[in-house]
Amino acid sequence: MGILEVKNVGKRFGGLQALGDVNLSIAENSVHAIIGPNGAGKSTLLNCLVGKLIPDTGSVMFDGQSVLGRKPHEINQMGISRVFQTPEIFGDLTVMENMMIPCFAKRDGAFEMNAIASVASQRDIVERAEHMLEDMNMADKRDMHAAALSRGDKRRLEIGMCLSQEPRLLLLDEPTAGMARADTNNTIDLLKQISDERDITIAIIEHDMHVVFSLAERITVLAQGTPLVEDTPDNIKGHPKVREAYLGETQTAA
Amino acid sequence: MFGLTKRDSTLLIIVILLTVLAPFILNPFPEGSAMAQFNAGYPDLMQRLVIFGIFAIGFNILFGLTGYLSFGHAAFLGVGSYAAIWMMKLLTMNVVPAIIISVVVAGLFSLLVGWISLRRSGIYFSILTLAFAQMSYSLAYSVLTPITGGETGLQPKVDDPRILDGALAAGQTPRANFFGLEMGTSYELELGNWIFTFNAGYYIAAIVMILAFYLSIRIFRSPFGMMLRAVKSNQQRVNYTGLNAKPYTLAAFVISGMYAGLAGGLLVAMDTQVGAERMFWTASGEVVLMTILGGAGTLIGPVLGAGFIKYMENIVSKINKSVLEQWFAFMPDGIEDFLIAIVYPFIGKGWHLTLGILFMLVVIFLPGGLVEGGQRIGRLFKRKKPSDDAADGKTTPAE
Ligand SMILES: Nc1ncnc2c1ncn2[C@@H]1O[C@H](COP(=O)(O)OP(=O)(O)OP(=O)(O)O)[C@@H](O)[C@H]1O
Ligand SMILES: [Mg+2]
């Protein structure tokens, strides 16, 4: 049994079968990549895992418990954090405040009426957020408004915010899109380090094959809403169906 | 000071000074001079300045922090007022129980309204709150007449029970008091041609406002306040960070409802009568204007906005045709009549027209309200200072 078990999940948008009949098992403490062409249904699948969408059919189990029917914040509190395809951060808040909010969510849960003490007096949270910013190499941007960050920095901030929650399952939707090469490599190193050091399972959607092959232990190829194959990176590289359906396409495009 | 940063303490001290010295600040013109009619340092107006300040401070906790725009907050003010006057009729003319009950009742009512309205966001939320307020308004005029007094409203009567107060001496009317100190008590200070009025009711309301302002600073700087700003900035991220946005917004709604109730209770403490018109939608709109005009989401903005609107309302609506004639008397007849004809629609009863134009100008040119205006002026002055900063800036890269 994997930590995440997706069984027979299907999702329709009007006339479009975005997900056909998806079965996916992600082993605990592994890095699992999901690849596939644009519109294959990768983001839709993640949406079904975090409570943004409710699938029409099938079941999603996380650590033996169903996530279906739970609210997004409940699913997060179960230990699933997600980085979105377009960065979802608090643009009006400073970078430091962005980092403190998930720390509060981790410490205090879904709701805590803490309306009198000042934020600055919460030493544990401040320290933790500062530490996280250093890990993300963003300490110098601490007092900037998050909206003013570059696209790559917004992503790194969002990744840091998710990591600060110490999730058991981290879902990354194209985490390196829009990043400069150096930042991409930093992100790869960071994710590698985290998956080595901590008990964390990572599911990553990525178009950049360099990222996929540097990180993934297993790869699922999704096309038109159904998994085509699932295998190790080495086998996927040589798989004729995959080359045809996906890799070939991107390689000629590149 | 009091757990505030230096900047916030400074702000608090400024507000304290402004409110304590208001009888001087608002009475700049000597008695009997032509400008004396523009003095605002009389108790009734000063009381309303601080009470509406409280209303706006509370509104800002909801609107400024979470971005949820309520168009029905006057309902909470009204409910608070009714609760307060009933306390005075039934229990005692002492304002303390009246004010406490107004906060409690408005809090409970806003819990109900918020719980329902917060199922929607954006314009639908605004419409729901507006609908609730208009419903309360019509109910107060119709079905609830036994509690609200309908069109005549409510005021303390000589034969009310007032179980805690002793019997009134013959010929006396019940008066609102603070442990015996009547709200209407005033001390007048004459300095040359100036008369300054220090009114008990005003100072009680002012102390409450200062406390309310202090509390709002604490809320703004707390983790709770930060969560509210997070909700305003990106509710999706809030949810996917494991935070339940609903109780946060509901708590903000109830707190702002309690502030509104407090304002309603104080209005009754100062002027012991209530009518349903204070729940009319224009009253809800006014607090929105105050908050935006002053600067939504800033600490001092709502206080400035409330003061500005109530002060201008008082001044502009007092100007009439004969005042205009006085002002323009030095001009040739034709031009005088022309100017009077142009200005006339904006004064007296036309005050709302002036307010509308002011509001439009602020929203278009100063989206951050009066606070942003102040900051811009501040920056202008800083730039004029000798260029120490600029020199620093140039040397740093060389090092
Ligand atoms: N909320 C929605 N309503 C209607 N259609 C949707 C919705 N979300 C996704 N779709 C459609 O479902 C299909 C799958 O979309 P999805 O975003 O999951 O693809 P993807 O694999 O993530 O693609 P990309 O690589 O471009 O991110 C697309 O055709 C998309 O237009
Ligand atoms: Mg996608």
**How many other CB atoms sit within 10 Å of the CB of residue B387?**
11
Q: Which tens digit of pLDDT belongs to each residue from A107-158? A: 999 999 999 999 999 999 999 999 999 988 899 999 999 999 998 899 999 9
Q: Is residue B275 part of a domain?
A: yes
* Token pair listed for B62: 């909801």
Angle between helices B73-90 and B245-270 (to 10 degrees): 50
Is the distance from the beta carbon of residue A13 to the nearest atom of ligand 1 less than 6 Å? Answer: yes
Q: What is the pLDDT of residue A214?
A: 93
Give mean pLDDT, residues A218-233: 92
Q: Is residue B171 part of a domain?
A: yes
Tokens 């929607």 sit on residue: B120
Question: Structural domain of residue B270, as residue ranges?
Answer: 6-280
- In chain B, how many domains are there? 1
Q: What is the pLDDT of residue B60?
A: 97
Q: What is the pLDDT of residue B317?
A: 85
Choice among A83-92, A155-164, A227-236, A243-252 with the minimum mean pLDDT: A243-252
Q: Per-residue confidence at A252, pLDDT binned at 50, 70, 90?
A: very low
Q: Highest mean pLDDT: which of A222-226, A249-253, B31-35, B87-91?
A: B87-91
Cα–Cα distance, A204 to A216 (Å, whole number): 8
Give the angle subtended at the CA of A149 by the CAs of A216 and B380, to the nearest 5°. 175
CA-A41 nearest atom, ligand 1: 18
Residues of chain B with pLDDT under 70: 1, 384-399
* Token pair listed for B355: 């307010």
CA dihedral B245, B248, B250, B251 (to 10 degrees): 180
Q: What is the pLDDT of residue A246?
A: 61
CA-A46 nearest atom, ligand 1: 18
**How many other CB atoms sit within 10 Å of the CB of residue B179?**
7
Backbone phi and psi for residue A243, each to the nearest 5 degrees, phi listed first: -55, -45
Is the distance from the beta carbon of residue A122 to the nearest atom of ligand 1 less than 6 Å? Answer: no
Q: Is residue B306 part of a domain?
A: no
Closest chain A residue to the Cα of B251, Cα to Cα: A113
Q: Domain of B159: which CATH number?
A: 1.10.3470
Q: Which tens digit of pLDDT belongs to each residue from A68-111? A: 999 999 999 999 999 999 999 999 999 999 999 999 999 999 99
A94: β partners: A145
**How many other CB atoms sit within 10 Å of the CB of residue A135?**
15
CATH architecture of A4-247: 3-Layer(aba) Sandwich (3.40)
Residues 6+ apart with CB under 8 A from B34: B326
pTM of the model: 0.92
Centre of ligand 1 from the C-alpha of residue A45, in Å? 9
Q: What is the pLDDT of residue A157?
A: 95
Residues 6+ apart with CB under 8 A from B149: B274, B275
Q: What is the pLDDT of residue A183?
A: 86
Centre of ligand 2 from the C-alpha of residue A19, in Å? 13
Write down the domain spans for chain A: 4-247
Q: What is the pLDDT of residue A247?
A: 55
Q: What is the pLDDT of residue B47?
A: 96
Distances (CA, A) of B293 to B15, B40, B169, B300: 18, 20, 48, 11
Is the distance from the beta carbon of residue A15 to the nearest atom of ligand 1 less than 6 Å? Answer: no
The interface predicted TM-score (ipTM) is 0.93
Say which ligand is closest to the CA of A222. Answer: 1
Q: What is the pLDDT of residue B399?
A: 31
Task: List the one residue out of B44, B46, B76, B45 whose CA is nearest residue B59.
Answer: B76
Q: Which of A101, A125, A128 to mutate to test the interface with B (most CBs of B within 10 A)?
A: A101
Q: Which tens digit of pLDDT belongs to each residue from A167-216? A: 999 999 999 987 889 889 988 998 999 999 989 999 999 999 999 999 99
Cα–Cα distance, A12 to A8 (Å, whole number): 13
Cα–Cα distance, A37 to A14 (Å, whole number): 21
Q: What is the pLDDT of residue B171?
A: 82
Question: Quick one: A234 exposed, middle or buried, by C-beta within 10 A (0-12, 13-18, 19+)?
Answer: exposed
Residues in A lying within 8 Å of B, measured between beta carbons: 50, 71-73, 76-77, 81-82, 84, 88-93, 97, 100-102, 104-106, 108-122, 125, 161, 165
Cα–Cα distance, B286 to B283 (Å, whole number): 5
